[in-house]
């Protein structure tokens, strides 16, 4: 079990550019979550997938943000026309599909986005 | 929606002493409460969790207590070591309809020699 992986670990972009992040969950975890964490704060929920279905989206997820999980395995988070306020750590988590363990979320190392 | 408050925001203890971090939650329906440890530049790491049908859970030097009536839960670390220095986050979740964790604002724990 290699844990949740995220790529890239760091991304620096200019305002107005599009960026895409990838998350690979723990094998056989059917739930996948995206969170955003700004400096000095706890992670804030963005969106959640069960298999390939996107079941919940936060109000934080403006129309510039889109997330996909096309085959129920890895997921991508795209931000279009980035703004300086998008600078944050983007965290991915996954959880197993059986019993009470479905509540237990395991986080990846995150992608730190800096928008200049 | 759920709101989680966490105190203190910073905590400094001497090696070997105990550390206690407290959280309160607002939604009485919440029934799952994990604690995460986050080191600089890394993602949150689950260290212990508790469900609402249990009042206390212990794992070696770490324990968590839950008071459902008062809607608060606490993390206790005994015999602290320098490697315990990190930011600790509490979180709450209602497993019935929601899967999103609501996090506290974090506690920066510093264990000094």
pLDDT digits (tens, 9 = 90+) for B23-38: 999 999 999 999 999 9
CA B73, CA A91: separation in Å to the nearest integer? 25
CA A31, CA A28: separation in Å to the nearest integer? 9
pLDDT in tens, A49-108: 999 999 988 988 899 999 999 988 999 999 999 999 999 999 999 998 776 677 899 999
Do A48 and B99 count as a contact with CB atoms less than 8 A apart?
yes
Kind of pairing between the strands at A44-50 and A53-57: antiparallel
pLDDT in tens, A1-46: 579 999 999 999 999 999 999 999 999 899 999 999 999 999 999 9
The percent of residues in chain B predicted with pLDDT above 70, rounded, is 98
In Å, how far are A51, B35, B53 from B62, measured between CA atoms?
A: 34, 10, 19
Q: What is the pLDDT of residue A100?
A: 64
Which of B32, B43, B103 is facing A109, going by the closest CB pair?
A: B43
Residue of B nearest to A46 (CA): B100
| Interface membership of A44 toward B (CB under 8 Å) | yes
Residue B20 has pLDDT above 70, yes or no: yes
Residues 6+ apart with CB under 8 A from A70: A52
Which of B4, B43, B103 is facing A108, going by the closest CB pair?
A: B43
The string of DSSP letters for A77-96 reads EEESS--GGG-EEEEEEEE-
> Given CA atoms B81, B65, B46, B105 in this order, what sign does their dihedral have?
negative
B93 contacts on A by Cβ (under 8 Å): 103
A45 contacts on B by Cβ (under 8 Å): 100-102
Residue B93 has pLDDT above 70, yes or no: yes
């Amino acid at each position: 079990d290699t844990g949740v992986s995220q790529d890239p670990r760091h991304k620096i972009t200019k305002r107005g550019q599009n960026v895409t992040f990838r998350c690979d969950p723990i094998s056989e975890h059917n739930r996948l979550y995206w969170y955003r964490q700004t400096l000095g704060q706890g992670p804030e929920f963005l969106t959640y997938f069960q298999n390939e279905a996107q079941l919940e989206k936060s109000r934080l997820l403006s129309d510039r943000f889109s997330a996909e999980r096309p085959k129920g395995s890895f997921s991508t988070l795209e931000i279009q026309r980035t703004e300086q306020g998008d600078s944050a750590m983007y965290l991915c988590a996954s959880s197993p599909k059986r019993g009470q363990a479905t509540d237990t979320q395991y986080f990846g190392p995150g992608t730190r986005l800096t928008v200049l | 929606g759920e709101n989680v408050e966490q105190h203190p925001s910073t905590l400094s203890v001497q090696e070997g002493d105990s550390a206690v971090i407290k959280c309160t939650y607002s939604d009485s329906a919440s029934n799952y409460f994990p604690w995460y440890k986050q080191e600089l530049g890394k993602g949150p790491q689950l260290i212990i969790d508790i469900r609402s049908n249990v009042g206390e859970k212990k794992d070696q030097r770490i324990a968590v207590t839950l008071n459902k009536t008062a809607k608060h839960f606490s993390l206790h670390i005994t015999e602290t070591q320098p490697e315990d220095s990190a930011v600790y986050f509490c979180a709450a979740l209602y497993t019935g309809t929601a899967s999103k964790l609501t996090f506290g604002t974090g506690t920066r724990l510093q264990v000094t020699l």
